[in-house]
Amino acid sequence: MNETPNTNKADPRRRGLAGAKMSRAFKYILLGVALLAAIAPVYWMVTISLKTEVDQFASPPRWFHFAPTLEHYYDAFFTRSFAKYLTTSLTVAGLSTICAVTLGTLAAYGLARFKLRGKLDQRLSLWILSTRMFPPIVTAVPLFLMMRDLRLLNTIGSLVIVYTALNLPFVVWMMRGFFRELPRELEEAAMVDGDSRLGALFRVILPLVTPGLAATAVFCLIVSWNEFLLALVMTQTDASMTLPVGIAGRVTQYEIKWGVMSAAGVVAMFPILAFAMAVQRYLVRGLSLGAVKG
């Protein structure tokens, strides 16, 4: 009877150590599984893009041993129009991200800092958010008709406008949250010090929300880059087609060009990856810690 409580006393400590080891091992296993799930399709795509058509359909699949070839890349970017699709995609995604982030940030600042009569600022914010509450396909037909009347079908302009509109609510809500976290006194101090409100925004507030701005821009870029449905509706010509539409176009009645699609897919990954890596250091929060209070 005496020993039981003793072992009970010693046990939790040992269990604690072992438990910590167990839970760490479990964490790594979980991470490994998640990593595998994320990487496997990418690996599959990359290898397919490098395989000859014979190797692509080999059964059982040739995971590692195959004769690599760049023929699909050559096919996609030199004989077909994928190089054109790529520049279109880059232009559209880049321009629409710049537009959405610029307009959205200014709107968000206004909504975060100014109180309007009858809680209009809050109602306005909610209304902006509500434009994202229905599936995008609902807007496809009206947008198509509008763009047709504006004679913007099959132009890069139509996609820039549509993607800007698509991303705006997101930018407004994200940036509004970041602005609200900053103490009002910061821009008040800047204005007392002799700066205009816009000057305070650019010199004091924006440098402090750079991490938020970077995260928001990455998200906008990803959405615009990957968007398929509206691009399919708005553009039919080779000159105005984006990568996702171009890639999907290789699925035809007679054959599916797996090699070309994969090669284009691999290339399509890189711009986003590069941008995300470039802004990675801004994605780290905490610059504004210690701004106020003693």
Partner 1 sequence: MNVRFKEVSKRFGDSVVVDQLDLVADDGEFVVLLGPSGCGKTTTLRMLAGLEDATSGNIFIGEDRVNDVPTQKRDIAMVFQNYALYPHMTISENIAYPLKVRKIERGEIDRRVNRVAELLEIGALLKRRPRELSGGERQRVALARAIIREPRVYLMDEPLSNLDAKLRVQMRGELKRLQHELGTTTIYVTHDQAEAMTLAHRVAVMRAGKLQQFDAPMTIYNRPANRFVAEFVGSPSMNFIEGRVDHSARKFASDAFTLDLDESHLARLSGCDRITLGIRPEHIEVSTTEHPDTLAAIVHVTELMGNETIVFLRTGGQKIIARASAEFRAEFESRVFVKFETDRMDFFDPDSGLRV
Based on the shown chain and the rule CB under 8 A, indicate whether residue 37 belongs to the binding site for partner 1. no
Based on the shown chain and the rule CB under 8 A, indicate whether residue 207 belongs to the binding site for partner 1. yes
Nearer to partner 1, 68 or 207 (CB): 207
Per-residue contact track with partner 1, 175 to 204, x per CB under 8 A? --------x-xx-xxxxxxxxx--x---xx
Among candidates 87, 56, 45, which has minimal Cα distance to 246?
87
Size of the site for partner 1 (CB under 8 A): 25
Based on the shown chain and the rule CB under 8 A, indicate whether residue 290 belongs to the binding site for partner 1. yes
Nearer to partner 1, 52 or 210 (CB): 210
d(CA 247, CA 158): 20
d(CA 113, CA 233): 38
What number of H helices and E strands is found in the chain?
15, 0
Q: Provide the Cα torsion 61, 62, 66, 70; round to 10°.
A: 50
Q: State the CB neighbour count (10 A cutoff) for residue 175.
A: 24
Q: State the CB neighbour count (10 A cutoff) for residue 155.
A: 17
d(CA 96, CA 164): 5
Based on the shown chain and the rule CB under 8 A, indicate whether residue 208 belongs to the binding site for partner 1. yes
Residue 256 DSSP SS3: strand
Nearer to partner 1, 172 or 205 (CB): 205
* Least CB distance to partner 1 at residue 182 (A): 9
Among candidates 183, 220, 215, which has minimal Cα distance to 200?
183
Nearer to partner 1, 182 or 261 (CB): 182
Based on the shown chain and the rule CB under 8 A, indicate whether residue 142 belongs to the binding site for partner 1. no
Options 118, 135, 142, 294; binder of partner 1; rule CB under 8 A: 294
Which two structure tokens, joined as six digits, stand for 35?
């990593």
Nearer to partner 1, 199 or 271 (CB): 199
Nearer to partner 1, 169 or 212 (CB): 212
The residues of the shown chain that bind partner 1, judged by CB under 8 A, are: 183, 185-186, 188-196, 199, 203-204, 207-208, 287-294
